[in-house]
């Protein structure tokens, strides 16, 4: 029985503590917790600094700083050295597909049993992909849409749950909420205890992610799609 060096990345501390206990109590595997991260930035630092000391990454998708998908997409050669299992509450097939495209090896819902978690770990360590119970990929007809005009395509994208709900970080949602209250960058910076420059970066990221070109467009989307 070899030791599986594991990094856990999740912003819920109670969940992390419980997961640690489950892993360390396993009679089938021997785990060493090589790192713990409570946001996306910490996760990347843990992975890059401990790339020679980690075999497995258990990664949440919804985290502050950088979300799980952003973490996956930011990995370079480290991704080749890690087996990555997503542990998430999201079961939208499009989110699942995006995670696998970004480099995940397995996808489990947080409601999964301990037995299923260990099965997933065994499978991915053997080089297989694993989809947990209740996890589905998009049906073929959902993955191939007929050609659309630019405006129709943009509207369809905006209605996608992943784009509207999930792909905004916690901080971006906070900034967006204040933008809708007509707060300036300076006011937002003061309220969130961040720099005006950082607010500007968040504002640009929001417009890029939501496919709009100005603040008025952001506010319109919030009203039409209840983003916050």
Tokens of 23: 């892993």
Is residue 139 scored above 70 in pLDDT?
no
- Joined tokens for residue 125: 């360590």
- Whether the per-residue pLDDT at 166 is higher than 60: the answer is no
pLDDT number for residue 161: 45
127 vs 80 pLDDT, higher one: 127
Long-range CB pairs of 13-22 (<8 Å, 24+ gap) are: 13/38, 15/110, 19/58, 19/87, 22/114, 22/117
26 pLDDT exceeds 70?
yes
pLDDT at 150 exceeding the cut of 50:
no
Assessment of whether the complete model's pTM goes beyond 0.95:
no
**For a pLDDT cut of 90, what percent of the chain falls above it?**
28
pLDDT at position 95 over 90: no
Cα–Cα distance for residue pair 221/228, rounded to 1 Å: 10
- Please report the domains of the chain, with CATH numbers, ordered by start residue: 3-131 (3.40.50.2300), 145-225 (1.10.10.10)
Question: Among the listed ranges 6-15, 45-54, 129-138, 151-160, which one has the minimum average pLDDT value?
Answer: 151-160
């Amino acid at each position: 029985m070899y030791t599986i060096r594991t990094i856990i990345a999740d912003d819920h501390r109670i969940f992390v503590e419980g997961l640690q206990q489950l892993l360390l109590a396993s009679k089938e595997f021997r785990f060493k917790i090589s790192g713990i991260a409570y946001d996306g930035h910490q996760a990347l630092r843990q992975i890059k600094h401990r790339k020679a000391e980690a075999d497995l990454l258990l990664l949440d998708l919804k985290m502050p700083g950088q979300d799980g998908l952003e973490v996956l997409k930011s990995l370079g050669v480290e991704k080749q050295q890690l087996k990555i299992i997503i542990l998430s509450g999201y079961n939208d097939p499009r989110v699942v597909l995006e995670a696998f495209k970004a480099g995940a090896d397995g996808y489990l819902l947080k409601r999964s049993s301990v037995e299923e978690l260990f099965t997933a770990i065994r499978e991915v360590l053997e080089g297989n992909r694993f989809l947990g119970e209740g996890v589905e990929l998009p049906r073929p007809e959902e993955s191939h849409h007929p050609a659309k005009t630019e405006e129709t395509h943009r509207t369809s994208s905006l209605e996608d749950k992943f784009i509207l709900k999930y792909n905004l970080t916690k901080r971006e949602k906070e900034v967006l909420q204040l933008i809708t209250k007509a707060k300036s960058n300076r006011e937002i910076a003061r309220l969130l205890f961040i720099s005006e420059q950082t607010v500007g970066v968040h504002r640009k990221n929001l417009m890029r992610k939501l496919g709009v070109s100005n603040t008025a467009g952001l506010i319109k989307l919030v009203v039409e799609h209840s983003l916050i």
